[in-house]
């Protein structure tokens, strides 16, 4: 190996981080401008979550809880939209609630986006779905609704008395819902739903999470306490693919489009790791020599 | 000393034991204790929030007054606090029009409402076919002056409309209110930017830190690369050509195996450890051995 090349490799170890930032910026931007349409292959975890929802009885009532904010919106919002579409397409009654204050906005946006589709124009607020809004108290709220919804949610997000909402007449506690779905980016979130509602009352639960959280949830999935999990943006893209596979939707969603950018970004990070190791070895070899 | 020490310890002991017992006794009065406990928690948490807010003002305010290092960040925190408080409790905005009758000039009404709500004219027409006792136009205005212009415009074309304002509470999530303006125009871009920066730092940190120094580091690196590539569609694309007898090397399969077995085992071990730790700490608190909640060591 020529000494010039060796020096070049050693210098790589001191590569200015701004160059790395610039390269990452460009490789993320490129697929967003020119979509690559890479195929999405659903994994078992996402399929389990999808099928658990899909196989509920036709007259099921489901509870969906929003526990994320704008920072994790790109990862979790596409799955919120897909899961809500799935619920409405199957004809389930949907109860929305939030354990995070920002979740209120996320829930509102997701509902608006889904209900904007003409397939769901006939759905009536208070009869087919309701948004109970945010309540502070973290897991105390979950524990509270295992005993009484009315004690914890006196009004919905529009300030309508809960006793005047027809859908809530049949739902006294969380035990009256057939399925819980938590869209979670941290605490309180999916784990609290398993611990305080799903497990004690034996209500099936599944969850859509930020990628970084999935490690903590896998023990619950493996033990059967949680019915699959939608893991980050890849999971959201897989859920969108399953919606198309089951004929519930007909186009690639936002997550699938974003996966092109994430694919290339991951590839570039791996290339950086390889390059970093080559530089590390070149440097170590030279140090050994002297 | 008795009130400061023995009384709190006694309260913690009695409440802790009762709550523990209530889990095992499904009869009154224990059965409904959880409802009361969660409501007590809400009340206490509300006071804690007030204390937290006062503490924030005290700490950040002191920094501003004394012009300590970075005092302008503290000023931003204090201003942000008061701005949010003001828009949450005092000025809500959220003016809208409720339509009682579209009037004789329906095409004009549909066209104009379609423009301001960014919806198709057909959808507006469908929505306002059955009005009932009144139907809101799905567009909120920050000020009374803003909604008044539209009111005058539609009224002059014969529509019967009424100016209304969102009730307190519901204004928190509706667009066209000052609180949602803070959320969408300040909070959202700030938190999104902070989170988005992670991609750049992860790339830079991976380049510098992920080195094959020993066997453990090599295993970690290999697992990391398989997860990173296997989790994205590119992984399936790169190894999609593998023959059936080599399907176990298909990257999405490999990453799922890592996720579901070695990773789940590690996570489980950590969780069991945390669980035992919680049991131990809770017992120490209930029995008065752990007193850090009273400010003691």
Asked if the C-beta of A262 comes within 8 angstroms of chain B's C-beta atoms, the answer is yes
Q: What is the DSSP string of chain B?
A: -IIIIIHHHHHHHHHHHHHHHHTT--STTTTTHHHHHHHHHHHHHHHHHHHHHHHHHHHHHHHHHTT-TTHHHHHHHHHHHHHHHHHHHT--B-EEEEEEE--S-HHHHHHHHHHHHT--HHHHHHHTT--TT-EE-S--BSSHHHHHHHHHHHHHTT-EEEEEEPPTTGGGTSTTBHHHHHIIIIIHHHHHHHHHHHHHHHHHHHHHH----SHHHHHHHHHHHHHHHHTSHHHHHHSTT--GGGGGG-HHHHHHHHIIIIIHHHHHHHHHHHHHHHHHHHHHHHTTS--GGGT--
Q: Report how far Cα A1 is from the mean position of its chain's Cα atoms.
A: 49
User: Which segment, A45-54, A261-270, B102-111, B252-261, is predicted with the most confidence on average?
Assistant: A45-54
**How near does any CA of chain B get to the CA of A151, in Å?**
8
Q: How far apart are CA B273 and CA B275, in angstroms?
A: 5
- Which ranges of chain A does DSSP label H, i.e. alpha helix? 3-12, 17-33, 44-54, 73-90, 103-115, 139-145, 149-152, 166-169, 190-193, 199-201, 214-222, 232-245, 254-289
pLDDT of residue A251: 84
Asked if the C-beta of A154 comes within 8 angstroms of chain B's C-beta atoms, the answer is no
Share of chain B above pLDDT 70, in %: 100
Q: Which residue has the tokens 């503490």?
A: B55
Min mean pLDDT across A74-78, A203-207, B180-184, B244-248 is at B244-248
Contacts of B38 in chain A (CB under 8 A): 137, 140-141, 143-144, 152
Contact B199, B228 (CB under 8 A): no
pLDDT surpasses 80 at A14 = no
Q: Tell me: the pLDDT tens digits for A225-259? A: 999 999 999 999 999 999 999 999 888 788 988 89
- The average pLDDT across B57-85 equals 94
Contacts of A38 in chain B (CB under 8 A): 232-234, 236-237
Q: Which residue has the tokens 């693919």?
A: A241
Contacts of B237 in chain A (CB under 8 A): 38-39
A163 SS3 class: helix
- The average pLDDT across B43-47 equals 85
- The average pLDDT across B225-247 equals 88
Min mean pLDDT across A1-5, A48-52, A132-136, B191-195 is at A1-5
Asked if the C-beta of A286 comes within 8 angstroms of chain B's C-beta atoms, the answer is no
pLDDT of residue B174: 87
pLDDT of residue B36: 80
Q: Which of A9, A19, A20 to mutate to test the interface with B (most CBs of B within 10 A)?
A: A20
pLDDT of residue A2: 66
User: Which segment, A50-64, A249-263, B6-20, is predicted with the most confidence on average?
Assistant: A50-64
Asked if the C-beta of A215 comes within 8 angstroms of chain B's C-beta atoms, the answer is yes
- The average pLDDT across A39-43 equals 88
Under the banding of pLDDT at 50, 70 and 90, the label for residue A215 is confident
pLDDT surpasses 80 at B296 = no
Q: Tell me: the pLDDT tens digits for A82-133? A: 999 999 999 999 999 999 999 999 999 999 999 988 889 889 999 999 999 9
Of residues B170, B172, B228, nearest to A269 (C-beta): B228
Q: Tell me: the pLDDT tens digits for B116-156? A: 988 888 888 888 888 888 889 989 999 999 999 999 999 99
**How near does any CA of chain A get to the CA of B294, in Å?**
22
**Contacts made by residues B203-209, CB under 8 angstroms, sequence distance 24+:** B203/A20, B203/A21, B203/A23, B203/A24, B203/A265, B203/A268, B203/A269, B203/A272, B204/A17, B204/A20, B204/A21, B206/A269, B206/A272, B206/A273, B206/A276, B207/A15, B207/A20, B207/A272, B207/A273, B207/A275, B207/A276, B208/A276
pLDDT surpasses 60 at B108 = yes
Q: How far apart are CA B41 and CA B293, in angstroms?
A: 16
Using DSSP bridges, classify how beta strands B160-165 and B95-101 pair: parallel, antiparallel or unpaired: antiparallel
Give the nearest chain B residue to A28 (CA atoms).
Answer: B199
**In sequence order, which residues have a C-beta less than 8 Å from that of residue A125 and are 6 or more positions away?**
none
Give the nearest chain B residue to A122 (CA atoms).
Answer: B127
Helix axis angle, B188-209 to A17-33, nearest 10° = 120
Contacts of A43 in chain B (CB under 8 A): 252, 256
**In sequence order, which residues have a C-beta less than 8 Å from that of residue A190 and are 6 or more positions away?**
A67, A182, A184, A205, A207, A209, A213, A217, A220, A226, A229
pLDDT surpasses 60 at A1 = no
Q: What pairs with residue B61 in β-bridges?
A: none
Q: What is the DSSP string of B86-107?
A: HHHHT--B-EEEEEEE--S-HH
Min mean pLDDT across A69-73, A116-120, B185-189 is at A116-120
Binding-face residues of A in 103-142 toward B, CB within 8 A: 104-105, 107-108, 118, 121, 133, 136-137, 140-141
Q: Which of B96, B203, B209, B224 to mutate to test the interface with A (most CBs of A within 10 A)?
A: B203
Mean pLDDT of chain A: 91
pLDDT of residue A289: 66
Sheet of strand B95-101: strand arrangement: B135-136, B95-101, B160-165
0.90 exceeded by the pTM? no
pLDDT surpasses 60 at A147 = yes
Under the banding of pLDDT at 50, 70 and 90, the label for residue B246 is confident
Look up the ipTM and state it.
0.84
- The average pLDDT across A51-79 equals 95
pLDDT of residue A290: 63
Under the banding of pLDDT at 50, 70 and 90, the label for residue A77 is very high
Is B41–A137 a contact, with Cβ atoms under 8 angstroms apart? Answer: yes
């Amino acid at each position: 190996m020529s000494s010039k090349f060796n020096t070049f490799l050693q210098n790589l170890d001191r590569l200015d981080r701004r160059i790395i930032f610039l390269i990452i910026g460009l490789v993320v931007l490129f697929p967003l401008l020119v979509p690559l349409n890479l195929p999405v292959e659903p994994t078992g975890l996402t399929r389990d979550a999808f099928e658990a929802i899909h196989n509920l009885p036709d007259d099921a009532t489901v509870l969906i809880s929003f526990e994320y904010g704008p920072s994790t919106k790109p990862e979790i919002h596409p799955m919120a939209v897909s899961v809500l579409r799935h619920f409405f397409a199957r004809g389930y009654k949907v109860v929305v609630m939030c354990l995070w204050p920002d979740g209120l906005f996320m829930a509102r946006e997701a509902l608006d986006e889904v209900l904007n589709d003409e397939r769901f124009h006939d759905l009536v607020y208070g009869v087919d779905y309701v948004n109970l809004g945010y309540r502070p108290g973290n897991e105390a709220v979950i524990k509270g609704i295992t005993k009484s919804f009315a004690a914890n949610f006196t009004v919905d997000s529009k300030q309508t008395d809960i006793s005047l909402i027809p859908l809530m007449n049949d739902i006294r506690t969380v035990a009256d819902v057939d399925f819980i779905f938590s869209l979670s980016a941290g605490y309180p979130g999916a784990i609290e739903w398993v611990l305080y509602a799903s497990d004690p009352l034996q209500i099936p639960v599944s969850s859509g999470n930020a990628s970084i959280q999935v490690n903590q949830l896998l023990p619950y999935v493996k033990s059967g306490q949680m019915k699959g999990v939608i893991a980050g943006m890849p999971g959201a893209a897989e859920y969108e693919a399953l919606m198309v596979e089951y004929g519930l939707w007909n186009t690639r969603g936002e997550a699938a489009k974003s996966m092109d950018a994430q694919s290339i970004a991951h590839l570039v990070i791996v290339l950086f790791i390889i390059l970093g190791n080559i530089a590390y070895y070149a440097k170590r070899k030279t140090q050994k020599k002297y | 000393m008795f009130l400061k020490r023995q009384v709190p310890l006694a309260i913690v002991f009695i409440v802790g034991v009762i709550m523990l017992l209530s889990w095992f006794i499904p009869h009154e009065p224990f059965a409904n204790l959880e409802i009361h406990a969660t409501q007590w928690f809400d009340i206490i948490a509300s006071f804690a929030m007030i204390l937290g807010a006062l503490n924030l003002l005290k700490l950040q305010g002191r920094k501003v007054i004394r012009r300590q290092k970075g005092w302008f960040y503290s000023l931003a925190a204090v201003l942000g606090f008061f701005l949010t408080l003001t828009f949450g409790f005092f000025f809500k905005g959220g003016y809208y029009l409720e339509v009682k009758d579209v009037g004789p000039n329906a095409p004009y009404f549909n066209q104009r409402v379609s423009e301001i709500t960014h919806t198709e004219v057909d959808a507006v027409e469908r929505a306002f076919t059955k009005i009932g006792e009144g139907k809101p136009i799905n567009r909120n205005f920050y000020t009374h002056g803003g909604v008044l212009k539209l009111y005058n415009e539609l009224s002059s074309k014969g529509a019967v409309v009424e100016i209304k304002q969102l009730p307190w509470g519901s204004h928190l999530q509706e667009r066209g209110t000052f609180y949602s303006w803070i959320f969408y125009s300040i909070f959202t871009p700030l938190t999104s930017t902070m989170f988005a920066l992670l991609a750049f730092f992860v790339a830079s940190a991976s380049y510098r830190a992920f080195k094959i120094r020993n066997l453990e580091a090599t295993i970690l690196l290999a697992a990391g690369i398989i997860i990173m590539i296997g989790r994205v569609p590119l992984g399936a694309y790169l190894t999609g050509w593998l023959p059936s007898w080599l399907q176990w090397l298909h990257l999405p399969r490999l990453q799922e195996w890592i996720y579901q077995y070695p990773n789940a085992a590690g996570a489980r071990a950590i969780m069991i450890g945390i669980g035992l730790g919680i049991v131990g700490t809770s017992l120490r608190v209930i029995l008065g051995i752990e007193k850090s909640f009273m400010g003691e060591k």
